[in-house]
Structure 1
Amino acid sequence: MARTPKNDVRLDAPKGMRAPVLAPRRRQSSDRFGRFTEWIARAMGTPWFLMGLTLFCVAWIIYNTLAPEDARFDSAALGFTALTLILSLQASYAAPLILLAQNRQDDRDRVQIEQDRQRAERNLADTEYLAREVVALRLALKDVASRDFIRQELRSLLDELDSKDSSTEGGGGDRPRV
């Protein structure tokens, strides 16, 4: 039985280069539904939604109270049963949709926190590396002769030569000073 390259799992290639072992899941439909739930949750939290719902209820009650008996579809005597059912249905769907939107936000927050933690770890590692490099440079520069050190050494050598010349010749040397 010959295997096709698509079904072949290669362990010598990076993970992104391998063929998928299982068929990829369709995330677009769940993502679309998730975006829809977030849209509903955002819409229900606005003053416009509350005013619209209030106007809808007021219009419902006014119509079913003041309209002729045969044109009414929800009886005020029964406590506006249809309106109560509609509002209960709206509430029973609103709560899970809001929870789904919150769960998606929690997932995004969790991913963001993890990325922030990884970024902070990289920054700390980079800072520690740079601190070690600065220390290494300071130690290396400590062993390098500075201009003042070289001048001081040359002056002491010239003074030694002058003192030797004066002791052997008996006269002062005409050497230039550094």
Structure 2
Amino acid sequence: MPRDDRSTPRTTTARLDIPKDWRRTFVPVYDADAFGRLSERIARFLGTGQFLVYMTATIVFWVVWNIFAPEGLRFDTYPFIFLTLALSLQASYAAPLILLAQNRQEARDRVQYERDRDIDTRTRADMEFLAREMASLRMAVGEVATRDFLRSELKSLLAELDREAPLGPR
């Protein structure tokens, strides 16, 4: 009877004829939505007055320290090349994060606009339906005998009966 290969236990040793899938071990799991939310939080913070105050205080401290600190403690002398590099690096990361946040907001706005358009279409259809119903009710009410119409008809009938009736006692 032949052996069933599925029932035999596999060895845990690596086989040389099967290449390893390095991609799974070296590439971290990337959650685009989590990164997008993080970029939105950062972009939201970059657009606040609090960020501007922090940035201004940091730059003023940097410049003052590197001008008035003792020679041995200065880390970026005039013309503040390291400060320029740090600000350029901050700007180079801030711009794509802001663009990513704007793209995500644009996508949310697009979905909201589509919902609003659908609601508007349904509302417009409902209004047209109600307008047609109101018109049909007005036409139907126009055909219904009203109290004033009935009174006028009864008065004319009474007047007609009075004219046709003999003048004798009743």
Does TM-score exceed 0.5, indicating one fold?
A: yes
Counterpart CA distance in 1 for 2:144 and 2:108 is 53
Contiguous gaps of at least 5 residues in structure 2: 1-29
Matches within 5 A, 1:82-93: 82-93=82-93
| Per-residue CA distance 1:117-136 (angstroms, 9 max, x = gap) | 22222221111111111111
What is the match of residue 156 of structure 1? Answer: 156
Residue 80, structure 1, aligned to residue 80, structure 2: yes
2:34 to 9, 32, 35: 32
**What does the per-residue CA deviation read over 1:62-116, in whole Å, with 9 as the maximum and x for residues that have no partner?**
323333333333333xx32222211111010011111111112222222222222
Check 1:162–1:54 CA distance in 2 against 1; reply closer, same or farther (3 A cut): closer
Aligned-residue Cα RMSD (Å) equals 2.2
Q: Which moved more, 1:54-63 or 1:119-128?
A: 54-63
Match of 2:140 in 1: 140
Counterpart position of 2:129: 129
2:63 aligns with: 61
Which residue is equivalent to 2:22? none
- Give the TM-score taking structure 1 as reference length: 0.68
AA partner of residue 43 (structure 1): F
1:108 alignment partner in structure 2: 108
Report the identity percentage: 56
Deviates more, 1:50-59 or 1:154-163: 154-163
8 Å contact 1:34–1:104 — kept in the other structure?
Answer: yes
2:15 aligned residue: none
- Could you tell me which residue of structure 2 aligns to residue 48 of structure 1? 50
What is the number of residues matched between the two proteins? Answer: 141
Could you say if the C-alpha distance between residues 138 and 69 of structure 1 is closer, same or farther in structure 2, counting changes exceeding 3 Å?
same
Work out whether residues 64 and 74 of structure 1, in 8 Å CA contact, stay in contact via their aligned partners in 2.
yes
For 1:126 and 1:119, how far apart are their aligned partners in 2?
Answer: 10
Distance 2:155 2:63 in 1: 107
Aligned residue in 1 for 2:11? none
Q: Secondary structure at the match of 2:55?
A: helix
What letter is aligned with 2:94?
A
Q: How far apart are residue 43 of structure 1 and its match? A: 1.4
Distance 1:95 1:40, change over 3 A: same
Q: CA deviation at 1:173?
A: 6.2
Gaps of 5+ in 1: 1-27
Larger relative contact order (CA 8 Å, sep ≥ 6): 2
